[in-house]
Structure 1
Amino acid sequence: MIDVLVVGAGPTGLTLACELAVRGLRSRIVDRAEAFFGGSRADGIQPRTMEVFADIGTLDPILASGDLGMVIRAYQGDEVVWEGQMSEPTEPTPSVPYPNIWFVPQFRTEAILRERLAELGGRVELSTELTGFTQDTDGVTATLTTNGTVETVRARYLVGADGGRSTVRKQLGIPFPGTTDETTTMLFADARVDGISHDHGRIWQVGDGGVSVAPLAGTELFVVAARPPADDEPIRDHLQRQITESSGRTDILVREVTWHTTWRANTRLAERFRDGRVFLAGDAGHVHPPTGGQGMNTGIQDGYNLGWKIAATLAGAPDVLLDSYEPERLAAARTALDISTALLEKHQRGDEDAHIRGPEVHGLTLHYRGGPLSLDDRTEPGTVRAGDRAPDAPATMDGRPVRLFDLFRGPHWTLLVFGTPPQEPLDPALRVYTVVRPGEPAGDNTVVDSDGHIRAGYDADDGTLMLIRPDGYIGLVTGSSDRVAEYWTELHGITEIVALS
């Protein structure tokens, strides 16, 4: 029996598979596609996702494969009538090391995740389709078909990361309410285009229509967006005609279309993300408009949230820990849908700022306050509370520079103790760091808050203890080491953790 069967090898499934592999779990990841995805599709990686990639060890190739996005110019003929960017690049801060959206084609993001999975001993099984499954109290029995060969697989858990048409969701009978607006459509294509440079993106607006041509980060391609053809006109011919008619230029030539898709305004949210030992993640549970770049990023966060919880449960934590996945990620998906829908409505109204993206899309303010794993027992909570994202901060340790994210990286929990360390011994699986000011006594595992950025970022007084989850969110804020021990014990199988909420 394997630990987890992951169905679907897009960014969501690959992130989950990496998380499981880091923790030494036996898993398989399958996809019914015959070849790996080759299109740009979701190319905007949000700041919070950049933090996830840093944690799982894929940040460097992600940075090497993309950019901050190009300046976009809107033209009427040869005249520039507007110029700007979706979001103005900003400098990193002590608490936010990756403050900007980073643009990488989805096919490259997936390839990087597959490479990381291979380093961890895993691989994607293509041409392998889930054709059915049943579950009982001990696991899931799944039927896989690979090139006509039928195989029965037994797994502790099954995760459906198999997209908006999810086989897993359909077999579970989970409703997927929402709306599909067939009148709001857009053709997106990756193409080789001659006659224009890669130094900026272009929009030619003509009445209610028009076309945009933007460089695709890290490639020689462009992403062309236009209304889809009304008939069977070949895609390359259609795009060529749209560009020529909208721009008034005959020197711009569409040489080749390497990938294309027609997007429809489709907004849906599954009624639940868990059924026994089976989970939904990514588009299998929520489908978003492309506005705001929320879909892929929310799915990656799903996989990141679920991986450590499955691992902890298999290591003996109470099963109710997995029950926290649904309320946390269902609320996150609902928030992301609200953001992307509001931005889509701006485009539909023709608002002047419809192309602008603010910090609401970055994922840094997402929190799990009030959730089943979040407990803040301070009489007067600070600005950073249990359930919030744990900020980064520079510091020194043993005389060398270090960042909090360096200390958090990996599958463990982390306890930050502001001031005097606990006298009681804690579980060795919990990494404990004492945060002190410059000049204060420094012992083992002491972090010197050299410039005060840790205390400022966490809004924490002396005597505060903060327990950081493996996915970088604050689980517990307290002033009592006994409460830390109690929370930790409850989390690892003595009492149901929902008692903490």
Structure 2
Amino acid sequence: MTDHDVDVLVVGAGPTGLTAAGDLARAGRSVTVLERWATVNPSSRAFAVMARTLEVLDARGLAEDVLAHGQRASQIRIFGDARLDLTHLDSPYRFVLITPQTNVDAALARYAETQGADIRRGVEVVDLVQDETGVTVTARTNDDAGPLQRFRARYVIGADGAHSTVRRLVGAQFPGKTLLSSIVLADVKLAHGPDDGLKLGNTRQVFGFLAPYGRGDADGAWYRAMVWDRDHQVPDTEPVDNTEVIEVLNRAFNADMGVLEISWKSRFHCDERQVAQYRHSRVFLAGDAAHVHSPVGGQGMNTGIQDAANLAWKLAAVLGGADDSLLDSYQDERHPIGRRVVLQSGVMTRAVTLYPRFARSMRNLLAPKLLRVPVVRDAMAGSFAGTGLRYGRRGPVGTRATPIPLAEGPLTELQRTPQFVVIRERGADPVAVSGVLQAKRTDDGPAVLVRPDGYIAWTGSSADHGWRLVLKACAPAQAATAP
């Protein structure tokens, strides 16, 4: 006999798990989140919120809150004179937002709780058994007080990080390798910081990265720093001395960076790993439980949030009567994205840490020229920001619908009600359907059907019935024709 029965059990209360929990609860599903940490972790590694993630947050009414607690960087200096320019992004958010992950976590936790998700902290999963109708999860409190708790769920989402217990319990391998060791993160107060937002400095031996946090006073401002020294490779457990951070920063930028204070620091290593399957019957892996990669490029938190947005609406649809095969598309759509992010982050890391002098000289010569070519610039910026990523290889289906101009206002505001959206052609009359949102585009494009995660599911003429067939397959409860 189980103690608790829910539609979906989410393991992990990081940004991935909280996004999934909030979306499922918003769709009317019962959700419990189990988090092994008894209290919210005050420190975090992630600090960059990309444009596509800001669009996802805006569709949940969260973007303004997060934007109010961060700094905007429209350009990113990567090496030499090469700069990644985000000002041409096809998005309302033509920048990367620099803010501690704790701010994003707090906003997503409020969202999940407001929608009705039950978040239980200090509870650790110890066993998981699947059968034909659901999953039984056994958990215990971290202090080992009280009896074991058992949860029964139709589905489970493992969003419990790189050392995922859920991944281990379903027997999923996590192939890959270590990319860099002995990376140090620190929060540093500088008397004078970079004058152009995000900035990377590197030599053959070291690299240093600085991102402004916006917290400052008359004496200086706070930055998140990342440093690495080729000649100082020690275990993650080795303490970080302030002198190490200061010296590597100064060497990386070839200047006295004016470090006044260091409030927090941590040493870690980064791996490149990805599970082969995101779905294991009724258990799904998301975020760092499914893929890990270099922190260079700031993709981890963003990719996890978008994993959750993709999976949650599909689980809600299947719980509402859609065919179970819809859930297979989570693997089909998100695994290639995860693979691309692992590759992209790895390429950037290897470019930063190049050692041969000739290779570094060619990098510094060619990168600035390439990034001034509009097609290259926009492709790189779109991939970095997430706005250029898509599901499928060609055509409008699988692309984000956010750029479509609507008479009713931004799509992200319309989708704060979690439904499919039928966007009609300019001048077309409303269609007879209930349970979906409708809007009218102001340009000359075709009609489209937009999924709850903001991606196009169908395109054509609103007078045709093609969109109804897609809607019936994905959301049968919403496909009824109005009387």
**Within the alignment, does 1:409 sit opposite 2:416 as a pair?**
yes
TM-superposed deviation, 1:99: 2.6
TM superposition shift of 1:330:
0.8
Q: Which residue of 1 aligns with 2:376?
A: none
Partner amino acid for 1:432?
Q
Match among 212, 216, 241 for residue 235 of structure 1: 241
Residue 159 of structure 1 deviates from its aligned partner by 0.5
2:85 aligned partner: 88
Determine if the alignment matches structure 1 residue 300 to structure 2 residue 305.
yes
Q: Provide the residue aligned with 1:347 in structure 2.
A: 352
Report how many aligned residue pairs link the two structures. 441
Amino acid at match of 1:367: R
CA RMSD of aligned residues (A): 3.1
SS in structure 2 at match of 1:216: strand
Q: Measure how far apart 1:143 and its partner are.
A: 0.7
Distance 1:433 1:291, change over 3 A: same
**Structure 1 counterpart of 2:173, which letter?**
P
Distance 1:344 1:136 in 2: 42
Query: 1 CA distance for matches of 2:135 and 2:473?
Result: 27
Instruction: Indicate yes or no: 2:92 matched with 1:97.
Output: yes
Does 2:56 align with 1:52? yes
Instruction: Tell me if 1:144 matches 2:144.
Output: no
SS in structure 1 of the partner of residue 353 of structure 2 = helix
Cα separation, 1, equivalents of 2:185 and 2:157:
30
Aligned residue number for residue 457 of structure 2: 475
SS of equivalent residue, structure 2 residue 334: helix
Give the whole-Å Cα distance in 1 for the aligned partners of 2:63 and 2:85.
21
Partner deviation per Cα, 1:43-81 (whole Å, 9 max, x = no partner): 11111111100011110111111122388889xxxxxx9
* Structure 1 match to 2:403: 392
Matched, 1:337 2:338: no
Assess if the C-alpha contact under 8 Å between 2:75 and 2:86 holds in 1.
no
Residue 110 of structure 1: which of 91, 105, 129 is its match? 105
Which 5+ residue runs of structure 2 have no aligned equivalent?
355-359, 372-379, 478-483
Q: TM-score, structure 2 length as denominator?
A: 0.81
Residue 163 (1) aligns with residue 161 (2): yes
2:375 matched residue in structure 1 = none
CA distance in 2 between partners of 1:161 and 1:489 (Å):
30
In structure 2, the CA distance between the partners of 1:159 and 1:217, relative to structure 1 (3 Å rule), is: farther
Equivalent AA in structure 2 for residue 486 of structure 1: L
Aligned mates of 1:419, 1:246 — CA distance in 2: 54
Return the alpha-carbon distance in structure 2 between the equivalents of residues 344 and 63 of structure 1. 28
For residue 388 of structure 1, what is the amino acid of its counterpart? T
- CA separation of 1:230/1:127 partners in 2, compared to 1, >3 Å: closer, same or farther? same
The residue aligned with 1:359 is: 382
Provide closer, same or farther for how the CA distance between residues 173 and 151 of structure 1 changes in structure 2, counting only shifts above 3 A.
same
User: CA 1:288 to 1:405, structure 2 compared with 1: closer, same or farther past 3 Å?
Assistant: same
Residue 368 (str. 1) matches residue 391 (str. 2): yes
Secondary structure, counterpart of 1:56 in structure 2: coil
CA distance in 2, matches of 1:395, 1:491: 24
Q: 1:257 to 1:156 in 2, by over 3 A?
A: same
User: Which shifted more, 10-19 or 33-42?
Assistant: 33-42
Find the counterpart in structure 1 of residue 20 from structure 2.
16
- How has the CA–CA distance of structure 1 residues 221 and 36 changed in structure 2, closer, same or farther, with 3 Å as cutoff? farther
Residues 120, 84 of structure 1: CA spacing in aligned structure 2 closer, same or farther, 3 A cutoff? same
Q: 2: distance between equivalents of 1:299 and 1:247? A: 32
C-alpha distance 107-188 of structure 1, shift in aligned 2 (>3 A): farther
Shift of 1:321: 1.4
Partner of 1:425: 432
- Give, in whole Å, the separation in 2 of the partners of 1:275 and 1:238: 44
The secondary structure found in structure 2 opposite 1:329 is helix
Work out whether residues 210 and 224 of structure 2, in 8 Å CA contact, stay in contact via their aligned partners in 1. Answer: yes
Identity value in percent: 29
**1:17 and 1:27 in contact (8 A); partners too:** yes
Deviation at 1:158, TM superposition (A): 0.6
- One-letter identity of the residue aligned with 2:205: D
Residue aligning to 2:267: 261
Q: CA deviation at 1:126?
A: 2.0
Give SS of 2:465's match: helix
- Residue of structure 1 aligned with 2:37, choices 33, 39, 42: 33
Contact kept, 8 Å, 1:385 with 1:474, in 2: the verdict is yes
State the 1:388 CA deviation.
1.5
Deviation, 1:103, is 1.5
Cα distance in 2 for partners of 1:423, 1:110 equals: 39
